Structures are given as C-alpha cells and as structure tokens.
Copies of this chain bind each other. A is one copy, B any other.
Amino acid sequence: MTDVARVAGVSLKTVSRVVNGVATVDQELAERVHAASAELGFRANFAASALRSGSSTATIGLLIKDLSNEFYANIASAVAVVAKAHHTQLITAHSGENAEDELEAIFDLCRRRVDGLLIVPTGGDHSALKSEIDLGIPMVFIDRKPVGLAADSVVLDNFAGARDAATRLINDGHSRIGILVDTLNMATMRDRLQGVRTAFAEAGLALDDSLVVTNVRGPIEASIEVDRLLASSAPPTAFFCGNNRSGIGVLRSLWQRGTNEALVSFDDFQLSELMPRPFTVVRYDNRALGTISAELLFRRINREVFDPTTVVLPTELCDRGITGLRGPQPQASQRARCT
C-alpha cells in the first residue's frame, strides 16, 4: 500500500480511503490510486486490516466428522448458504474420529479468531471449551448437545423418532424386533434405544434384550447381525436400525434373503425410494440442522443476548423402497407417504 501511495503520489491514508471506498476522495486522486494499484498488482491484506481496525474476521468455523457422509455434507451445505448470506467465509475442519483432534482443531480456529464456531461433536467432554466461550467466541452444537457446557444446540428428537418407529412396528403386529444401534457412547444412540424401550413399555410388551445389538458400526456389521439373529431359534420378525448405515446393511441382507421382515431405520438417504424392497425411515430435515444452527450462531455473533437454547427438530415416519408395482411413482421432490 505504501508503494501504491508513492506511485500515485498520494498519502497512505488516501490509498486506504480509496481501497475501502469510504469517505469522499477527489476523483482525480482516486483514479491515480486505482491506476497505481493495477500497475503494482496491489491486493488489500484482509488480515492486516482486521488486525488494526479490530473488526471481525468474517469467518466462522465448522467442525464436522466427514463430508463424504451425506448427513454431514447436507449440514455443511446448509451452513455455507447462511454463511454466504452473511458475507462470511466458512472454514471446515474435519474432526476425524478422535476427541483430542477435535479439541485441537477448535483451539486452532480460536487462534484464528473466527467469529463463531459450529460443532458437530465427536463426543467426549466439552468443558475445556468454556474458556473459549468466556473469551467471546460463540459456539453452537449440532446434532448432539455439548457435555459439561451450557451452549446453544440444535438436535433431533431422537427419542420420539425411535418411539414412533417401534410403535409402528408393534402396531403392525411385531413383538420380536431386532434392534441395531451404534455405540451407546453417543447420546443420540442412547436416546433412540430409550425411545424403543418406551414404545415397548407403552404397549405392555417386553423387549427381549438378546435382540438388542449395540456397537453396530456399519452396513457390513449390520448384515452379519441380521444373519445371526435370523438364524436363532426365536428370530425377530422386524428390525429397527439406529442409523442409515446399519439400515442399508439390513436392507441388503433382507433383500438377498427375499424374506419379508419389516424394517424401520433412522435417517433417510438419497434414492431410498428406489431401494429394491419396502422399508420405513425416520426422516427429518437434514439441512435444517445446519441452517438453524448457523442462524443461531449469527445471532450470537451479532451480540444478541438470550439464554442458551436447544432447538429440537421433529421427525416423521416415511415409507421407502419400491413396492414391486410398476406405474407412476412419486418424484424425489415430493416424497411419498410420510405421516
């Protein structure tokens, strides 16, 4: 900028004024500055500007597990739209599996003075972040509430979704239901399992714990468990899956077997309506997780004052998979038969 000032024959401050398009600058001087800028290839340094003026970095951070997972990608995409509307750049940090990595990434973003942080927690304890919040960096937690910390969060109604799912199966006459969930270290999974238990209790039925499988990591493990459960002397007549990955594994297994056990799985997924066998999903507005969190964050960033909020998004049951009947089918954009 000093060079530009020299070449344009004006003071540093005048260049600054022209570059920022602020205040009134003499037409001719402004043009000399523009000419000199172009000649020298001058580009304003955003960081230096923010440093001196104490203005915000116009940057928020998003901590997320894995963008190649549709669930997280939809959140990130929705967040990006809100960020753009606020003329803010988005730094996306991948936490990986590890809670320590996650903390380290958060601290790095704080050193970079992001205006705020959106966190899809890997789990673990978040009390270490209290100091960062006190320092004035707003945070909103997505999909899981923070542990050991009072902060905003946007989550799903996991309990109700799972209870509805199990109730549907029970009402359809099933009493032996295979339950496949991921690790119970995650509150989401605990809530979903609790929803299923509640549905059984409400129906006056006993849930056979030998049909409850935890730590189901992915589709392949889910397939294996389906085969194991169905080979038992008192096999289940239906399955509940705690997430779409195990749902897909079960779906594949059941389709291969050609048997007609019922299936309800948490999480919808792309092209679920074209799966080769009917099943049901616990659906919710995936993008809303991102949109609402980001809007909440910007309210905090804009210094709006309100008590820590938890937004709970509703779920609904939707039938998916093809029925075997040919003929006009609903388009993806107006998905079918949701309750």
Contact = CB atoms under 8 A, between A and B. Distances in A.
Interface of A: 41, 43-48, 50-51, 57, 59, 66-68, 70, 73-74, 76-78, 80-81, 84, 89-94, 96, 108-113, 131-132, 134-135, 219-220, 248, 251-252, 255-258, 269-271, 274-276, 287, 322, 326-329, 331-333
Contact of A41 (B80, B84, B134): B134
Contacts of A81: 94
A326 B276 contact: no
Contacts of A108: 46, 89
B67 A219 contact: no
A27 to B, nearest CB: 24
Contacts of A45: 51, 111, 113
A112 B326 contact: no
Contact of A50 (B47, B271, B331): B47
B68 A112 contact: no
B67 A67 contact: yes
Contacts of A271: 248, 269-271, 275
Contacts of A51: 45, 47-48, 51
A43 B110 contact: yes
23 contacts: A41-B131, A41-B135, A43-B135, A44-B111, A46-B113, A47-B57, A47-B112, A48-B51, A67-B73, A67-B76, A68-B287, A80-B92, A89-B91, A89-B112, A92-B92, A219-B332, A220-B331, A251-B274, A256-B329, A258-B326, A271-B271, A274-B275, A276-B322
A47 to B, nearest CB: 4
Contacts of A50: 47
Contacts of A326: 255-258
A252 B274 contact: yes
Nearest to A79: B67
A90 B93 contact: yes
B57 A68 contact: no
Contacts of A322: 255, 276
A335 to B, nearest CB: 13
A271 to B, nearest CB: 6
Contacts of A70: 70, 73, 270
A136 to B, nearest CB: 10
A329 B258 CA distance: 13
A74 B106 CA distance: 23
B73 A84 contact: no
Contacts of A251: 274
A74 B76 CA distance: 13
A271 B270 CA distance: 9
Nearest to A49: B111
A135 B94 CA distance: 30
Contact of A47 (B47, B219, B255): B47
Contacts of A68: 73-74, 77-78, 287
A204 to B, nearest CB: 37
Which 5 pairs from chain A and chain B are nearest by CB? Answer: A68-B77, A67-B77, A73-B73, A47-B47, A46-B111
A110 to B, nearest CB: 6
A328 B274 CA distance: 20
Q: Which of A80, A81, A275 has the most CB of B within 10 A?
A: A80
